[in-house]
């Protein structure tokens, strides 16, 4: 039995049939030999057959009746969007068995849409033969989301700006190979959100997160000017994501600091970032004095400190350090310190607790970072210290982030969108991969999270496959495929 993928052409179907059958066989063979990018597939096809034109494809009715090879057929249909002849695709066991391997063929510029089992070209990418994909995915509505009781976990996926789509696609590729059961709802944000609907944080994106209560996002750019507030601050406030989790662990040995393994827990909603600000005019200067007020509540302080202690218990950590500035900001951070001491008493005998003034903590982190285990602090101090801690392990390219609330959780790479290298295929997806690991932990898939982190470690330190920022020469796609190889090999 065969399924026909009819493609409009002015050439003779009979004349073209042999070449196309060979092309379809070649794709299956290549898929089984090793992970290939779409560009590799295209070059192989054009080298071995005629120069095919990009034409619209139409699936025959028998295609819908095919069994056991739906994902294979859909992926091939997307790849062969540029082929201008009839394609004969056998619906055999061999073809069905290539489904997992075809996941590795997805180019890093693609997005896999689980509701339709199709690959889609990200709308910001150029129209080149190496990206022969359907232009845009259908909207995933509540009706098309995985049903209640499904083994799929609904999650919002926001590619973001700059290098965001590239690293998000790499992470989705690895998670698919890992067998992570996320049912992605693709949404936009940042500059892509403005292009789509005039808002860097569209209502459709917010509605998706309200429904899924789980999101993975690439870096989002908040436009300068135009009255737009920080996208990240808006997300935290909208979903009351009170805890910002920032782990930092040495990935590649040989740096300035070795064997770093710290966790910083940052209060995410209060402090000076509430932005109660105003100016006082003096004379002819309407902005002569700038005033900003901070707000720390006892309830908010107790909540974040308790989260830090519970996280320490869960991970088998030994100590929590309360970081403050209560010697000067006696009210604003005094409330935090007092609440922290009260919570610490509840864990006495299980978790040790000590205290640091924030400026002393910043100095000691570069003198002797190994004295710290889990650090918990207020919003502004946490923002600063978390980036300092990332510097201990190589920078923000190795720094994942999780924003946790009672009703939602959003996972991210904390670095920027790096527009200067966007589209060049050299971005490092490690931070977002590690964020995906935190996401797996959050939904209880700790074995898969461990498997992912081990694969990253093996690729970096055993296979020595690294992107340029880590001293290697691998592209984003090569690095991702190396991790896929580790994940699927089970080694």
- Whether 491 contacts 457, CB under 8 Å: no
Distance between CA 265 and CA 319 in Å, rounded? 13
Catalytic site residue from 161, 169, 373, 383: 383
Catalytic site residue from 112, 325, 347, 373: 325
Q: Please, is 430 exposed, middle or buried when counting C-beta atoms within 10 Å of its C-beta (0-12, 13-18, 19+)? A: buried
Active site residue 330: no
Active site residue 383: yes
Residue 479: both structure tokens together: 């690095």
Catalytic site residue from 273, 307, 347, 479: 273
Number of Cβ within a 10 Å radius of residue 32? 12
Active site residue 273: yes
Nearest to 235 by CA among 212, 268, 266, 267: 268
Number of Cβ within a 10 Å radius of residue 317? 18
SS (H, E, C) the chain: CEEEEEECCCCCHHHHHHHHHHHHHHHHHHHHHCCCCHHHHHHHHHHHCCCCCCCCEEECHHHHCCCCCHHHHHHHHHHHHHCCCCEEEECCHHHHHCHHHHHCCCCCCEEEECCCCEEEECCCCCCCHHHCCECCCCCCCCCCCCCCCCCCEEEEEECCCCCHHHHHHHHHHHHHHHCCCEEEEECCCCHHHHHHHCCCCCHHHHHHHHHHCEEEECCCCCCCCCCCCCHHHHHHHHHCCCEEEEEEECCCCCCCCCCCEEEEEEECCCEEEEEEEEEEEECCEEEEEEEEEEECCHHHHHHHHHHHHHHHHHHCCCEEEEEECCCCCCCCCHHHHHHHHHHHHHCCCCCEEEEEEHHHHHHHHHHCHHHCCEEEECHHHHHHHHHHHHHHCCCHHHCEEEEECCCCEEEEECCCCCCCCCCCCCCCCHHHHHHHHHHHHHCCCHHHHHHHHHHHHHHHHCCCCCEHHHCCCECHHHHHHHHHHHHHHCC
Catalytic site residue from 318, 359, 454, 473: 359
Distance between CA 14 and CA 24 in Å, rounded? 16
Q: Which residue has 């970032």 as its token pair?
A: 273
Q: List active site positions.
A: 273, 325, 359, 383
């Amino acid at each position: 039995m065969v399924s026909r993928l009819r493609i409009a052409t002015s050439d003779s179907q009979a004349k073209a049939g042999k070449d196309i059958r060979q092309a379809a066989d070649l794709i299956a063979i290549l898929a089984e030999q090793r992970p290939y990018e779409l560009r590799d597939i295209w070059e192989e096809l054009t080298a071995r057959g005629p120069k095919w034109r990009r034409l619209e494809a139409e699936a025959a009715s028998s295609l819908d009746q095919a069994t056991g090879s739906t994902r294979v057929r859909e992926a091939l249909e997307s790849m062969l969007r540029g082929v201008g002849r009839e394609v004969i695709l056998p619906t055999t066991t061999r073809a069905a068995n290539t489904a997992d391997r075809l996941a590795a063929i997805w180019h890093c510029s693609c997005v896999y849409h689980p509701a339709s089992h199709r690959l889609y070209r990200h709308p910001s990418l150029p129209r080149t033969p190496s990206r022969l994909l359907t232009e845009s995915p259908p909207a995933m509505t509540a009706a098309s989301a995985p049903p209640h009781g499904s083994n799929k976990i609904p999650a919002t996926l926001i590619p973001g700006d700059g290098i965001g789509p590239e690293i998000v696609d790499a992470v989705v590729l690895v998670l698919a190979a890992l067998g992570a059961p996320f049912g992605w709802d693709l949404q936009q944000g940042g500059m892509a959100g403005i292009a789509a609907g005039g808002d860097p944080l569209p209502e459709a994106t917010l509605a998706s997160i309200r429904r899924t209560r789980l999101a993975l996002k690439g870096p989002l750019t908040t436009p300068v000017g135009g009255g737009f507030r920080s996208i990240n601050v808006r997300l935290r406030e909208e979903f009351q994501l009170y805890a910002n989790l920032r782990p930092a662990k040495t990935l590649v040995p040989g740096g300035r600091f070795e064997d770093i393994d710290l966790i910083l827990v940052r209060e995410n909603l209060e402090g000076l970032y509430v932005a109660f600000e105003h100016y006082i005019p003096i004379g002819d200067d309407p902005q002569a004095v700038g005033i900003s007020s901070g707000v720390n509540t006892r309830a908010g302080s107790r909540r974040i400190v308790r989260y830090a202690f519970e996280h320490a218990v869960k991970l088998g950590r030994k100590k929590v350090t309360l970081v403050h500035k209560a010697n000067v900001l006696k009210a604003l951070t005094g409330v935090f310190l007092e609440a922290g001491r009260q919570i610490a008493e509840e864990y006495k005998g299980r978790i040790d607790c000590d205290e640091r003034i924030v400026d002393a903590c910043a100095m000691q982190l570069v003198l002797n970072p190994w004295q710290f285990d889990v650090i918990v602090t207020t919003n502004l101090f946490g923002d600063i210290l978390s980036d300092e801690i990332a510097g201990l392990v190589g920078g923000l390219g190795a720094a994942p982030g999780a924003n946790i609330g009672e009703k939602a959780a959003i996972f991210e790479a904390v670095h920027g969108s790096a527009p200067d290298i966007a589209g060049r295929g050299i971005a490092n997806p490690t931070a977002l991969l590690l964020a995906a690991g935190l996401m797996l932990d959050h939904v209880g898939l700790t074995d898969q999270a461990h498997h992912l982190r081990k694969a990253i470690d093996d690729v970096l330190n055993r296979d020595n496959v690294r992107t340029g920022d880590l001293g290697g020469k691998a592209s984003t796609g090569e690095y991702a495929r190396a991790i896929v190889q580790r994940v699927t090999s089970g080694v």
